[in-house]
């Protein structure tokens, strides 16, 4: 009888120590994103939220964590009621998702698409696409740029022959979708002011054709290199 009491007492103490340690471990499990760093319940690794969990602060997040940050899929709810459901990477919206925002008139607005480094890039995963190029087109390079004239989103198109920039070349431009306001030369570059995205267009030059779709509303440098 005495041994049984001792065993039960030992088990009780061991369970109590385990529970205290578990609670303490949860208290020490940190979330590194300030706006959700108030309370945390969920999986933990090396003192940081990792795995599935719920974090509440000014805002609330429910979903996957890695190294203390939202990483994977989850639902983020802001204090004003706006909600994002989708993919995260290192605490930022990154990948496919849907955001729902509250309007001043009491309605809701939804936006579905893709994010990159917390920035919405559009309904398509890539901000641009080369949909067709003729065999004599060696390459099409597209890079984000700044429009220093601040007159809107613009495309700066440069024509090359085997890597050599051409002086003010003339080429045909046909709009497939979207629209543009103006087209003019800036040095050896043709500048096109785009008024509506997505902007799809076709360039005809020396009997060769390139077709592109620009989805993201930004300014872009486009270099087309021909084997002629």
Residues in the chain: 228
Would you state the pLDDT for residue 27? Answer: 54
For residue 44, pLDDT beyond 70: yes
Would you state the pLDDT for residue 122? Answer: 84
The whole-number average pLDDT for the span 22-40 is: 79
Domain of 99, in residue numbers: 31-122
Answer whether the bond into residue 198 is a cis peptide, omega within 30°: yes
Judgement on whether residues 23 and 36 belong to the same structural domain of the protein = no
pLDDT band at 15 (very low <50, low <70, confident <90, very high): very low
Judgement on whether residues 53 and 133 belong to the same structural domain of the protein = no
Mean pLDDT of the chain: 90
For residue 227, pLDDT beyond 60: yes
pLDDT, tens digit, for every residue of 49-95? 999 999 999 999 999 999 999 999 999 999 999 999 999 999 999 99
Backbone angles phi and psi of 134, in degrees to 5: -65, 160
Dihedral over alpha carbons 23, 25, 31, 32 (to 10 degrees): 150
Q: Higher-confidence residue: 184 or 23? A: 184
Judgement on whether residues 109 and 143 belong to the same structural domain of the protein = no
Find the helix or strand (DSSP H, E) in which 22 lies: helix 2-27
Judgement on whether residues 182 and 98 belong to the same structural domain of the protein = no
The tally of domains found in the chain comes to: 3
Task: Show which of 91, 122, 153 is a domain's final residue.
Answer: 122
91 burial class (0-12, 13-18, 19+ CB within 10 angstroms)? buried
Would you state the pLDDT for residue 66? Answer: 98
pLDDT band at 14 (very low <50, low <70, confident <90, very high): very low
Task: Show which of 122, 145, 178 is a domain's final residue.
Answer: 122
Q: How far apart are the C-alpha atoms of 61 and 33, rounded to whole Å? A: 10
The whole-number average pLDDT for the span 200-226 is: 96
pLDDT, tens digit, for every residue of 105-133? 989 999 999 999 999 988 888 989 999 99
Task: Show which of 122, 151, 182 is a domain's final residue.
Answer: 122
Contacts of 205 (CB under 8 A, 6+ apart): 159, 169, 171, 172, 224, 226
Task: Please tell me the pTM assigned to this model.
Answer: 0.64
Residue 108 maps to which CATH number? 2.20.110
Judgement on whether residues 137 and 197 belong to the same structural domain of the protein = yes
Q: Which two tokens stand for residue 164?
A: 């050599």
């Amino acid at each position: 009888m005495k041994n049984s009491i001792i065993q039960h007492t030992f088990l009780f103490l061991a369970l109590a120590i385990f529970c205290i340690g578990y609670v303490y471990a949860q208290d020490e499990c940190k979330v590194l994103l300030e706006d959700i760093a108030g309370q945390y319940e969920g999986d933990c690794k090396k003192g940081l939220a990792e795995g599935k969990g719920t974090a509440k602060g000014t805002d609330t997040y429910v979903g996957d964590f890695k190294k203390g940050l939202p990483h994977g899929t989850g639902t983020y709810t802001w204090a004003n009621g706006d909600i994002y459901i989708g993919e995260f990477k290192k605490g930022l919206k990154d990948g496919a998702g849907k955001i729902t925002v509250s309007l001043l008139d009491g309605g809701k607005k939804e936006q579905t698409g893709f994010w990159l480094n917390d920035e919405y890039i559009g309904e398509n995963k890539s901000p641009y696409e080369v949909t067709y190029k003729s065999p004599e087109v060696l390459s099409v390079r597209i890079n984000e740029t700044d429009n220093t004239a601040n007159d809107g989103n613009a495309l700066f198109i440069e024509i090359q022959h085997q890597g050599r920039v051409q002086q003010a070349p003339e080429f045909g431009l046909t709009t497939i979708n979207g629209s543009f306001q103006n087209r003019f030369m800036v040095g050896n570059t043709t500048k096109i002011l785009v008024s509506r995205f997505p902007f799809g267009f076709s360039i005809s030059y020396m009997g060769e054709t390139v077709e592109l779709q620009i989805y993201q509303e930004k300014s872009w440098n486009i270099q087309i290199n021909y084997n002629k």
